[in-house]
Structure 1
Amino acid sequence: MLRNFKKYVLVPAMALAATATTLVTTTAPADAAVISVRVSGTLAARNGAANWFTQTRKIKNKQKVTVTCKVSGQYLRGNIRRTAQWDRTAIGDYISHAYVSGNPKLPNCVVPAPAPTPTVVAAPVATVPLGPTGTMTNEQFLAASIPAAQQSQRDTRVPTSVTLAQAILESGWGRSSLSANDRNFFGMKCFNNVSGAYASGCHAYSTQECNAAGVCSTTVATFRTYATSAASFTDHGMALKNLARYAAAFNYTGNPNQFVAEVHKGGYATDPLYTTKLVNLMTKYNLYQYDLAL
């Protein structure tokens, strides 16, 4: 596996909008609800239904806000519930329903709201990144990786936090040659020049391999190439799910730290510190918050 990792302090904006936030609903018309914010600080509203969209404003404690409809967006684990629902406000920005106390009956939004910029006519609606690339900042890389990692958890039960930590470590936040050129974010290798069902080919690279005694040396190995970044995430999850040597890890899908340890024991990496490095990443950036409750 490639080892090209660069430590980085993640911008706090990637955390949930406000971890101590509670929105309390009050009486409102059938097609809308008036809510008041209960928060020790402020709640971030955004111009799209996910935490990587631009923050439009900060909603103060006890400030009244009217929400008119709901959309499906980033799945969040809030202090009220776990949900992918986001509520659109009367001025067109969004707040996560994970922080709304009560459950007002809101209609589905018919038309996505443009970014609330008064000087721009018909502002385009931002789109969710399709996957990470080799030209993103660390913050952008993580935001773009979350949807693919969560879909992998739905398909394979591999914890999202584990997939994200492995993608960060194996690709160096997407900046390794393997990930930037060949969209391989997990150091997945070819064997006998066979790339498997999800890859598009093989490419030889120099890499570091370590023996059982922890002695590492440089060697050449062939790694899988992918047509899309999504294919890399799919291949990674399916490999962990289908290879017998990783079967023990799936006894710990609710315990990401132990899941990582079992994958390491199964031979995913030769680095003797592999488990420690992944657990440190999951802890430092609180990647556990993105795990789905399946």
Structure 2
Amino acid sequence: MLRTFKRYVLAPTLAVAATLAMAATPADAAVVSVRVKGSLAARSGAANWFGQTRTIKNGKKVTVTCRASGQYLRGNVRRTAQWDRTAAGDYISHAYASGSPKLPVCAAPPPAPAVTPAPVAAVPAGPTGTMTNEQFLAASIPAAQQSQRDTRVPTSVTLAQAILESGWGRSSLSATDRNFFGMKCFNNAPGQYAAGCKAYTTQECTAAGVCSTTVATFRTYNASVDSFRDHGASLRSLSRYAAAFNYTSDPNQFIAEVHKAGYATDPQYTTKVVALMTKYNLYQYDLAL
């Protein structure tokens, strides 16, 4: 009888011991409390530059589950780079926590879900008539630089002429028909790059500076970049502008030679173009060819 009794008493005891051993897993042992010394901000991450989630009052107990390496701080209790993750999921610096529980290292957070970027709106090829001055200049630079590669006309000259001739792209000729240089039709022929011709009212000036209103036929383009191509090709191909190409590294003299050859009737044309190149430092966009 005695031997039988011992067998029945011992079995429940072993079962209780096994249950206690299972309960004392590392995860459960990590759920402990620390006491905050001094008012402390809990953060969304292990550093003070993460957003504050709440304020924990001095002396309050906080349940923590694991530790993470983060910003090194000198706190009221110790100096350390350890941060404790709380049961609420935010973090407190261990530099302000009394007690030294043996916490496991926090598991790395799961990777953020992939985000499909929103489609980027198409950028117009060349300037339009609805842009700010800054947008007009930015949109004109690629076309002007390509013109320099193709024809050696300085980018700064092309940009300044486009600004002056088109009024930053807002003239009717530019906004409607994408002609940024006042390129005219001759004998109703649009040339290689233009799509057609259209009559516009314009100002013409004599050498003495006397200006009058007249009607002239101007080229129209299907695309803004075609206007830039046509401008560079015309300067390069017409013999009267040949002298200007002796000064491709001197934009100021280049435009002076173009003006002298009859590009514009305004006697102040060179002065106006150079003023624009200087004011907006358009020289910085010239290519070293």
* Shared fold per TM-score greater than 0.5: yes
What residue in structure 2 maps to residue 143 of structure 1?
138
What residue in structure 2 maps to residue 160 of structure 1?
155
What secondary structure does 2:146 align onto?
helix
1:183 aligns with 2:174: no
1:216 aligns with 2:211: yes
Q: What residue identity is the alignment partner of 1:163?
A: T
- Structure whose residues are more often helix by fraction: 2
Task: Indicate the percent of aligned positions where both proteins have the same amino acid.
Answer: 83
1:192 aligns with 2:187: yes
C-alpha distance after superposition, 1:33-70 (max 9, x if no partner): xxxxxxxxxxxxxxxxxxxxxxxxxxxxxxxxxxxxxx
Within 2, Cα distance between the matches of 1:262 and 1:224?
A: 24
Residues 120 and 174 (structure 1 numbering): CA distance in 2 closer, same or farther, change over 3 Å? farther
Shift of 1:120: 6.6
C-alpha distance after superposition, 1:136-174 (max 9, x if no partner): 111110000000000000000000000000000000000
What secondary structure does 2:229 align onto?
helix
Within 1, Cα distance between the matches of 2:124 and 2:175?
A: 16
Q: What residue identity is the alignment partner of 2:235?
A: L
- Compute the TM-score of the two structures, normalised by the length of structure 2: 0.59
Where structure 2 has 5 or more consecutive residues not aligned to the other structure, the ranges are 1-112
Within 2, Cα distance between the matches of 1:250 and 1:127?
A: 36
What residue in structure 2 maps to residue 279 of structure 1?
274
What residue in structure 1 maps to residue 221 of structure 2?
226
What residue in structure 2 maps to residue 170 of structure 1?
165
What residue in structure 1 maps to residue 230 of structure 2?
235
What residue in structure 1 maps to residue 128 of structure 2?
133
What secondary structure does 1:153 align onto?
helix
What residue in structure 2 maps to residue 292 of structure 1?
287
Aligned length: 177
Structure with the greater relative contact order (CA < 8 A, sep ≥ 6): 1 or 2? 1
From the CA coordinates, give the structure whose radius of gyration is larger: 2
What secondary structure does 1:198 align onto?
coil
What secondary structure does 1:184 align onto?
coil
Within 1, Cα distance between the matches of 2:207 and 2:146?
A: 34
Within 1, Cα distance between the matches of 2:137 and 2:174?
A: 14
Within 2, Cα distance between the matches of 1:180 and 1:119?
A: 42
Residues 119 and 138 (structure 1 numbering): CA distance in 2 closer, same or farther, change over 3 Å? farther
Superposed counterparts of 1:11-50, under 5 Å: none
RMSD (Å), alpha carbons: 1.6
What residue in structure 1 maps to residue 110 of structure 2?
none
What secondary structure does 1:222 align onto?
strand
Q: Select the residue among 119, 122, 141 that pairs with 1:124.
A: 119
What residue in structure 1 maps to residue 249 of structure 2?
254
